[in-house]
Amino acid sequence: MALVKKDKYNVAIVGATGVVGQTFIKVLEEYKFPVGEVRLLASARSKGKVIHCFNRDIVVDEVNEDAFKGMDISLFSAGGEVSLKWAPIASKYTLVIDNSSAFRMDPKCPLVVPEVNPKDITKEGIIANPNCTTIQSIIPVKALDDKFKVVRINYTSYQAVSGAGMKGINDLKNTRIGEAPQFFPYNISKTVIPHIDTFLDNGYTKEEMKMVNETRKILHKPSLAVSATCVRVPIENSHAVSIAIELEKEFTIDEVRDVLSNYPGIVVKDDPKNNIYPVTDYSNGNDLVYVGRIRKDLSVKNGLLIYCVADNIRKGAAANAVQIAKYLIEEIL
């Protein structure tokens, strides 16, 4: 059902007990989103659990169709299978913003980062939130594309364990105290792992192909040359991405710094001689993308190298979804 202008919006949160779901609540509160009634939904395991938020105690329910009736917006973060089953049902009653990968490449569903393609936001149906690494990368990429036209991108990610939810966080904690890995294929406390999500026949992982395909969709450039390598690293939160970009137009590093500094959502941290470059200390707990290590790629004409860090649970997931809803109610309705 299409969202209409209101003083307050009733919100259903699916996956409310998870890492992203809890952050939805935190971000909605911090942004003072005009929230009316709130329904917190999860699996049968969490039914009856009480969560205090929005100045009230809310009892978690198992996700069910009636829970979406009377709601205005549904925020989903309970994995692809739950989204595939329940998001179409929720969209009969509410606008849905979905954090899973289930609808990202569906041509009927916009894939949105508000700093990049806000015009794609719709008032109804299912809006997909991109992959966490795509979100933080596409913002500087779009800033550069607007000015210099991007012709080729090669991403290398360094992804925190929180990107794999509670199971990832617990595996880092437990392997640090000597327990055997329960979730990652190797001991994440002792190695980086060049393997996120499952491997495909082309030798890439699903995570890597998400970066390729989502970049093309968000930029509306279906044949843009994009490649990616995604690596899990033993830190708790905030992903980093090293981005090699080939630009059509010539550029100076000062021009690049100027373009990035003036783009919404980006903070440039680039004074390497004084040890100033993007680190997770900057990004954890906020919704900005920190960009630095800005330099020419010595291997190709008009090649540029940049490095960015962002909080994968906030800007990479919950905050981006809430920002989509905020843009919609403030700028479109």
Ligand X SMILES: NC(=O)c1ccc[n+]([C@@H]2O[C@H](COP(=O)([O-])OP(=O)(O)OC[C@H]3O[C@@H](n4cnc5c(N)ncnc54)[C@H](OP(=O)(O)O)[C@@H]3O)[C@@H](O)[C@H]2O)c1
- Closest to ligand X by CB, 17 or 157: 17
By beta-carbon proximity to ligand X, the closer residue of 63 and 325 is 63
- Say which residues have a Cβ less than 8 Å from residue 47's Cβ, sequence separation at least 6: 60, 61, 62
Under the binding rule (CB under 6 A), the answer on residue 266 touching ligand X is: no
Q: Is 289 in the site for ligand X (CB under 6 A)?
A: no
165, 241 contact by CB (below 8 A): no
Q: Is 218 near ligand X (CB under 6 A)?
A: no
Phi first, then psi, for residue 82 (nearest 5°) are: -65, -40
Q: Which residues pair with 97 in a beta bridge?
A: 75, 127
Residue span 58-77 as binding mask against ligand X, x where in contact by CB under 6 A, dash where not: -----x-------------x
Cβ-based nearer residue to ligand X, 166 or 225? 166
- Residues in 299-328 at the binding interface with ligand X, rule: CB under 6 A: 312-313, 316-317
Residue nearest to ligand X (CB): 18
Closest CB to ligand X among 165 and 265? 165
> Can residue 140 be called a binding residue for ligand X (CB under 6 A)?
no
Among 3, 11, 12, 20, binds ligand X (CB under 6 A): 20
The CB-of-106 to ligand X minimum distance in angstroms stands at 15
Q: Which candidate, 210, 300, 290, 305, places its Cα nearest to that of 256?
A: 305
CB distance 40 to 77 below 8 Å: no
Residue 238 touches ligand X, criterion: CB under 6 A: no
Per-residue contact string for residues 24-43; x = within reach of ligand X by CB under 6 A:
------------------xx
Binding test (CB under 6 A) with ligand X, winner from 10, 11, 12, 18: 18
Pick 58 or 78: Cβ nearer ligand X:
78
Q: How far apart are CA 240 and CA 310, in angstroms?
A: 7
Catalytic entry in 53, 109, 230, 239:
239
Does residue 132 have an active-site annotation? yes
CB of 78 to ligand X, least distance (A): 3
Active-site residue among 109, 132, 230, 308?
132
> Count of residues binding ligand X (CB under 6 A)?
28
Closer to ligand X by CB, 20 or 306: give it.
20
Residue 270 corresponds to which amino acid? D
- Residue whose CB is less far from ligand X, 97 or 247: 97
Kindly state whether residue 165 participates in binding ligand X, applying the rule CB under 6 A.
yes
In the residue annotation, 239 being an active-site residue is answered as yes
The answer to whether 228 contacts ligand X (rule: CB under 6 A) is no
Which residues make beta-bridge pairs with 296? 304
**235 near ligand X, rule: CB under 6 A:** no
* Residues carrying an active site annotation: 132, 239
Binding site for ligand X (CB under 6 A): 15-21, 42-43, 45-46, 63, 77-80, 82, 99-100, 132, 162-163, 165-166, 312-313, 316-317
